[in-house]
Amino acid sequence: MATYVVTGGAGFIGSNFIFHMRQQHPEDRIICLDSLTYAGNLETLDSVMRDSHFRFVKASITDREAVFRLFDEERPDYVVNFAAESHVDRSIESPGVFLQTNIIGTQTLLDACRHSGVKRFHQVSTDEVYGDLPLDRPDLMFTEETPIHTSSPYSASKAAADLLVQAYHRTFQVPATISRCSNNYGPYHFPEKLIPLMIINALHDKPLPVYGKGENVRDWLYVTDHCRAIDLILQSGRVGEVYNIGGHNEMRNIDIVRLIVKTLGKSEDLITYVTDRKGHDMRYAIDPTKINRELGWSPEVMFADGIQRTIDWYLTHQDWWRNIVNGEYQTYYQQMYGSR
Ligand code: NAD
Ligand code: DAU
């Protein structure tokens, strides 16, 4: 029986990872460490809360005392760090908290791993650390050797965390791995992000705010495929290595929005072009050759199926997102989109 500390498990990908692990490794124990920021939601974890193999601890990864106390109590074998400020637009408005959580929080966890000794520290990073690719060079993709070249305070903070993980591995022999995944979508995605925001606005017949010309390209992966990849890296990945995760599924934002509009039977007149994001990355594209060759990972959910499942989930889980969009989200939306 192994013990896992999963940070950020009340958020989108972390919660899906907890569900994956409970299903695939029911004998293992999972401790979710989450400070429940605006993006964390305990309701998401309802189905595992009373599970004897699960414990929830509310604390920040930047709180040294709380993190060290937890590690002393639980002596985790594995630590998987999902906890982060994750939204690029918010990082443009208020970078400070991104540096605190994403950099100092990661360092605090690394120190706790050194102190307590773990089998593995896994850092959930992002393809955004590689910067972006031009639209007119479809042959180019991010490999693990692509230089770090960040665009936003969010991606800069994630890149800084990656460098710290590599430094702690080299200098202190912390047994660490890093994964860099492309854009995820699926259930429990916070409605500030493109896909859930467009689904929910379309359901309300509200304008669908497409940044710039909508030509930016993202490489979409269904969230459970990401969770399977991290599980594989924990079991069989080589310590000290970086693994890119992505499924060759590049799409333009405008095409995603049109697909959502069509699936929901709404009018394309809802699509509204708004002022572009500052420093907006043009295109992301992951080359997943390494994880495919070394660990045999490839995506299982194709986009046509995944987006249908996602839209169905938002239609059948309206309580989950209505609780969010009726709260402080209104103020956020007004600030972000009011005068765009
Ligand atoms: P999210 O914003 O949905 O969830 C983040 C979670 O972290 C929330 O539960 C929040 O309460 C928690 N958290 C924030 N600050 C914390 C702190 N100081 N201490 C403890 N908990 C804290 O994010 P997500 O989309 O699920 O992303 C999870 C991770 O995956 C992030 O590290 C992100 O950089 C990375 N990532 C995301 C994507 C994507 O498409 N969403 C793709 C690649 C990598
Ligand atoms: O690539 C991985 C990254 O994907 C993760 O590291 C981030 O945590 C995650 O938030 C995501 O970042 P993006 O900036 O790509 O995701 P977002 O959903 O915010 O935006 C996707 C694209 O859609 C992007 O080109 C901006 C555009 N967009 C977004 C919103 C919210 C719009 O056109 N309109 C919008 O209202």
Domain hosting 60: range is: 3-190+221-247+283-302
Say which of 4, 78, 85, 127 is annotated catalytic.
127
User: What's the CATH number where 52 sits?
Assistant: 3.40.50.720
pLDDT at 80: 99
pLDDT at 88: 98
Name the β-bridge partners of 126.
181
Is the Cβ–Cβ distance between 219 and 250 less than 8 Å?
yes
Is the Cβ–Cβ distance between 242 and 180 less than 8 Å?
yes
Instruction: Confirm whether 201 is domain-assigned.
Output: no
Mean pLDDT of the chain: 98
Residues 233-239 have a mean pLDDT of 98
pTM over 0.95: yes
Q: Does pLDDT of 305 surpass 90?
A: yes
Instruction: Confirm whether 123 is domain-assigned.
Output: yes
The whole-angstrom separation of Cα 73 and Cα 268 is 55
What lines the ligand 1 site, CB under 6 Å? 7-8, 10-14, 34-37, 39-40, 60-62, 82-86, 101, 105, 124, 126, 158, 181, 183-184, 190
Instruction: Confirm whether 36 is domain-assigned.
Output: yes
Instruction: Confirm whether 87 is domain-assigned.
Output: yes
Q: How many folded domains does the chain comprise?
A: 1
The whole-angstrom separation of Cα 152 and Cα 324 is 26
Give 237's contacts (C-beta < 8 A, 6+ positions apart): 177, 243, 294, 295
